[in-house]
Amino acid sequence: MSYNAIKKTFDLGNGRQVEIETGKLAKQADGAVVVKMGNTMLLATVVSAQEAKPGTDFLPLSVDYQEKYAATGRIPGGFLRREARLSDYEILISRLVDRALRPLFPEDYHADTQVMISLISADKDIMPDALAGLAASAALAVSDIPFNGPISEVRVAKIDGNLVINPLLSELERATLEFIVAGSASDIVMVEGESKEISEEEMVEAIAFAHEAIKVQVQAQLELAQLVGNTEKRVYNHEPSNPELRERVYAATYDSVYEVAKSGSSKKERTVKFADIAEAFALTLGEEVDEETVFLAKKYFHDVQYDAVRNLILNEGIRLDGRDVRTVRPIWSEIDYLPAAHGSAIFTRGETQSLTSVTLGAKDDEQMIDGAFINGYSRFILHYNFPGFSTGEVRPNRGPGRREVGHGNLAMRSLKQVLPSQEENPYTIRIVSDILESNGSSSMATVCAGTLALMDAGVKITAPVSGIAMGLITDEKTGKYAVLSDILGDEDHLGDMDFKVTGTSKGIVACQMDLKINGLKWEVLKEALYQAKEARLHILNEMLKTIQAPRADYKPHAPRIVSLTIDKEFIGAIIGPGGKIIQEMQRETGTTISIEEVEGKGIVQVFADNKASIDAAVSRIKGIAAKPEVGEVYEGKVKSIMPFGAFVEILPGKDGLLHISEIDWKRYETMEGIFQVGEMVKVKLLDIDKQGKLKLSRKALIPRPEKQEQNKETENK
């Protein structure tokens, strides 16, 4: 038995074909497709409940991207040897898809919806993350689930000066910018990526270039849906309504909410005042009010807050904390707050605060990345923590969630652009940002605190980085809009855009944008970028008042690393059989030693917290890696004594013969009593024969006796 699968193919450019297939796999899902490019295949499925759970006033959407290790011919690590919880890399891709899909579902659709994307086959040079959004949207397109799409996602990169869509993994090393862009046929909905200090114009150009490719992919999905014949969407009613109650809520609360919003009070004060207004209205409903009315009253009061705050900004240019649209909240920062850390900083902007530390480690501290598609090691680690107390909430600590992973990744993308090269900085670097207070972008506070902590640690970053979160309020009816600098948490929640931009004084190094509206004009995007530049440069200037450049040296208690380059042939000698030599050196010198082969050379790193230990280990390594040179004098150790001479170790693992005739100018008949095994003796290397044997002499270092010189002169006469 075989299925008649329905396929749609489109050209990605340069002859690269992408195929979308449906009707063959996962037929019991509401929608299922396989997207294929080269040997890379993604299976995307979507299932949505027919009815929403009572009392639900949001979309319970879950998006999970998972890579099957078999897709790359690998077996998972760990004890169980099976795919387990999602890795950070998989979570980041899940977030990219979620952020692109979520704004396109109808606002009144509240059914549990699950999107699952699996990498089932992989081409090691074709990155699957750029196809995940296309696969998820195509699965929705062939289903009956209400969705205001299709959408798609592409990676846009500038390589060798040219913009490229979905470049190969091997090409990305040369990219000066790299963004994942998501959008519909008419609008951009999400952007995330990093760049090498590019201009605002270059960023807009890249996004516009990506949008043209997205339009082609959206059209392919529409044509696939036509081929399937499943263009009718299900009828639903997930949100009861009561127009009369809505009018009552607005009439009773709007003016009061507007005045609180205009008062410029703190977050806690606003929260209490808004709650008092809501409670006062709830009392007017009477004691025997039904659950649906209570539910709708809360929903309509939220709508009042939404409209009042937005109207205040659009009509009067006043924000919740009393600022105008361009003003950044007060900033203060401090470095060297944690005396035992290798570097630390506090950065506070308004009611958002990050305490960040930097730890310098050895090569052995590198993070191992064990994914199906991406695996290897990372020398730069950034962890972001967001405890409940930072927002005044009681919340159990269950480890980092998807939000923490995403925010930490944005900060990591930003700071890695300015890290020195491995030759200049041999350390493994770990940054930890603990958010102690949050009302506004804590990821941008992490970027700023991370920059200060790196400079406090003495890491020679190429330039300091600052970041800012921008917002947008629009009114489609009047065409009014306001771009907001340094948005509050409520402005993020009630606004139409969350746009985070990080950069140096020269240009943009990373960004993350989420849109909740349709029809963002390019002119508005450019305005937001230039306003963001103004704000982040202001923040950067405030940061530089605390520390202007990296410290000249690391902290006294920071560990030190010395790097040595040796010939490849000595790697084995340093390691020794079964690691015996290197383990012995580490144990006796109190150091950590790593060695690897890079481009035909051995790179040795010696790591310790004191100079004496490093010097001792370096001396021993140099001894092993040194090549004996004819004419050089060595302090050697007698290893064994034979009737014809002694074997002396002049360098680790390198013995030479000190013949009995080369011990002294006088003649010895026997070796008995001349040397003891283990005795140190100074010798000169006379010769290295074709077999590599070393000929040593002690006699060459001893002045010739005068009597012998006189006898020699007499003989000559």
d(CA 623, CA 654): 10
* 498 marked among binding-site residues: yes
Sign of CA dihedral 140, 146, 147, 150: positive
Give the orientation angle of helix 402-416 with respect to helix 88-101, to 10 degrees.
Answer: 100
Extended strands (E) in 388-525: 428-437, 466-474, 481-485, 497-503, 508-515
List % helix, strand, coil for the chain (3-state, nearest 5).
35, 30, 35
* Nearest C-alpha neighbor of 536 from the set 572, 513, 510: 510
Classify the phi-psi angles of 661: left when phi > 0, otherwise alpha if psi is within -120 to 50, otherwise beta.
Answer: alpha
Classify the phi-psi angles of 583: left when phi > 0, otherwise alpha if psi is within -120 to 50, otherwise beta.
Answer: alpha
- 332-346 in b/e burial notation, b at 16+ Cβ within 10 A? ebbbbebeebbbbbb
Question: In angstroms, how far is CA 637 from the centroid of its own chain?
Answer: 52
* Nearest C-alpha neighbor of 137 from the set 100, 170, 189, 179: 100
* DSSP bridge partners of 636: 681
Ordered alpha helix ranges (H), 608-656 = 611-625
CA distances from 155 to 72, 127, 211, 271 (A): 21, 9, 10, 41
* 434 marked among binding-site residues: no
Give the orientation angle of helix 580-589 with respect to helix 611-625, to 10 degrees.
Answer: 150
Question: In angstroms, how far is CA 225 from the centroid of its own chain?
Answer: 36
d(CA 221, CA 234): 19
| 697 in Cβ contact with 633 (< 8 Å) | no
Mode of pairing for the β-strands spanning 188-198 and 331-335 = unpaired
- Which residue has 């606003």 as its token pair? 270
d(CA 614, CA 606): 6
First to last CA, the chain: 113
Angle at 557 between CA 556 and CA 558, to 5 degrees: 95
- Which residue has 């749609």 as its token pair? 8
| 233 in Cβ contact with 146 (< 8 Å) | yes
SS (H, E, C) 24-49: CCCCCCCEEEEEEECCEEEEEEEEEC
- Specify binding-site residues for Mg(2+): 492, 498
- Specify binding-site residues: 492, 498
